Structure 1
Amino acid sequence: METIRKTPWDKRNFNIDTYEILDHSEETLRKTDTIDGHFTIKVNPLESPKLLLKHGFYYMDTLIEPVCERKSLTIYQQEGISVSREYDSDEIAQIADEAFMHGRFHRDFHIPNHLADLRYSNWVKDLQQEDTIFALKVNDRTVGFYGYHHDKVLLLGIKKEFRKQGLAKALTSHACLEQFNLGYEQLRTSISAANVASLNLFYALGFRLSDTVDVYHKLSGPGV
């Protein structure tokens, strides 16, 4: 069984080998002591971190994982809003550049902020290539985007000047509806416990807590 999986989507940003740990047994954690690179592991918050700390892992974030049934989705109506697959890619990229300032890689003291920015920028480009981004529009002007993969909501970004104007609930609820219309009966997402605004937003839409996980990182060998 694979216990240490390479993550090439992160390696391309950080220029070092990157891995996801799929099993937190001591045998697997001991292997990370012999491999150079950056590691991510997700664990149950109720489990002791003693072994993780022993092998050089450090706490990075707690992720809240809410889910929403189709019948539970609350749709907020607002004049002039729409959701579309038609958008200017450069405009979406500009929004992405300012939307993800507090992700776990931005908080990782081993990762320079410009490389954390690059990770999210490349992720958005990947979703564009996969045609899994909706543009969020107000009066036909793109003010944000919504990225997804199958039944999971991945990324949500809104231009600074359109935040705190009561638009997020209406725009996001209609994007969720479009995703449901692809054939899903349940949507799920993952939100940092520190991101109170997003937690409140998705709770207002009808999402409810399903699970939580703690995320730990580790850097072995040369830095980024």
Structure 2
Amino acid sequence: MTSAAEAAPSHPLHGRIDTAELRLEWAEAPWDTAVFGHPVVQVSRIEARTGASAADLAPFVAACEVGGVGLASCRLPHDRLRESMLLEEVGFRFIEMVFQPEFGDLQSAGPRDAQGLVVERARPEDLEEIVEVAGGAFRNERFHVDPRLPSRLGDLRYQNWVRSSLEHPSQRLHAVREGAELVAFFVTEQLADGTCYWHLNAVVPQRQGRGYGLRAWRAMMNQARLEGATRVRTSIVARNHRVLNLYARLGFSFPAPSMTFHRVRVA
């Protein structure tokens, strides 16, 4: 084990603390740095042991100051209260509770048809329409609800994500259509364990409240089944109660949630 004094990283945007009281690892999120115009880091691991205090986080706090970090984020299991209190002592604030609903028996119990819709890989000519939808689709998400962050940059973040997914090596951008009209889009990824992970999804505004969500989600579950997935998993914030009810109606199960925290540098 190193001491807290020895734990200061050589590069402020990634590093680790490993002491008798605390283990913490962080790294830059370059895609968010590009959007926000200042360094953004993610705490990927934190384990606080008996006796841990805010002083044990001093190397991380110092690295954020040296590196000009404007936003640091951390996601924790819902029952990690020791760690959450420690983060709050150095300026982190609770932002959201996140669920990862899962449909675990896709091949035998999943939907068997496309609900009268067509699911296809998005084409370059589809991109701008989907990007426009993405720009207004995620207002319940953490980059929008944190009042210290510009909401327009949250929109840009998801628009950039959609653009990059069109030719991403592992993610896929799907368009869900009724006839020639776009109904919804999904950004998905097939994982090695047989999971089809849904990163992003949204119904176009003019189709909302008309039952298209249920049909599009079932169509995408059927698509995942046809592509060989054994389960579907996604991530959704607790405040998005309408979509939580949609997943419950579809038969998804809800494992224990996680908590998201932000530390924002105030100019």
Q: TM-score, normalised by structure 2?
A: 0.76
Which residue identity lines up with residue 89 of structure 1 in the other structure? L
Cα distance in 2 for partners of 1:45, 1:196 equals 18
Cα distance in 1 for partners of 2:112, 2:262 equals 37
Where in structure 1 are there 5+ consecutive unaligned residues?
none
Instruction: Choose which of 74, 81, 93 in structure 2 pairs with 1:41.
Output: 74
Q: Cα deviations across residues 146-179 of structure 1 (Å, max 9, x unaligned)?
A: 1112221111111111011111111111112212
- Residues 137 and 40 (structure 1), Cα distance of their counterparts in 2 relative to 1, 3 Å cut: same
Q: Cα deviations across residues 120-155 of structure 1 (Å, max 9, x unaligned)?
A: 111111112226011011122112201112221111
Is 2:30 aligned against 1:8? yes
Q: TM-score, normalised by structure 1?
A: 0.90
1:121-160, aligned counterparts within 5 Å? 121-130=159-168, 132-150=172-190, 151-160=196-205
Is 2:58 aligned against 1:30? yes
Matched residue, 2:120: 84
Aligned-pair identity (%): 23
Cα distance in 2 for partners of 1:75, 1:169 equals 14
Contact 1:59/1:214, CA 8 A, preserved across alignment: yes
Matched residue, 1:120: 158
Cα distance in 1 for partners of 2:29, 2:114 equals 40
Is 2:94 aligned against 1:56? no
Instruction: Choose which of 177, 182, 202 in structure 1 pairs with 2:222.
Output: 177
- Residues 28 and 154 (structure 1), Cα distance of their counterparts in 2 relative to 1, 3 Å cut: farther
Cα distance in 2 for partners of 1:161, 1:78 equals 19
Is 2:56 aligned against 1:20? no
- Comparing 37-46 with 179-188, greater Cα deviation is found at 179-188
SS at match of 1:147: strand
Matched residue, 2:12: none
Cα distance in 2 for partners of 1:180, 1:29 equals 45
Matched residue, 2:22: none
Q: Cα deviations across residues 21-64 of structure 1 (Å, max 9, x unaligned)?
A: 02224577433311131111111222222211101100010001
SS at match of 2:148: coil
Contact 1:75/1:205, CA 8 A, preserved across alignment: no
Which residue identity lines up with residue 59 of structure 1 in the other structure? F
Superposed displacement of residue 98, structure 1 = 2.0
Cα distance in 2 for partners of 1:76, 1:179 equals 11
Instruction: Choose which of 94, 113, 116 in structure 1 pairs with 2:132.
Output: 94
Where in structure 2 are there 5+ consecutive unaligned residues?
1-14, 17-24, 191-195
Structure with larger Rg: 2
Instruction: Choose which of 187, 203, 208 in structure 1 pairs with 2:253.
Output: 208
Superposed displacement of residue 183, structure 1 = 2.6
- Paired residues, what number? 221
CA RMSD of aligned residues (A): 2.0
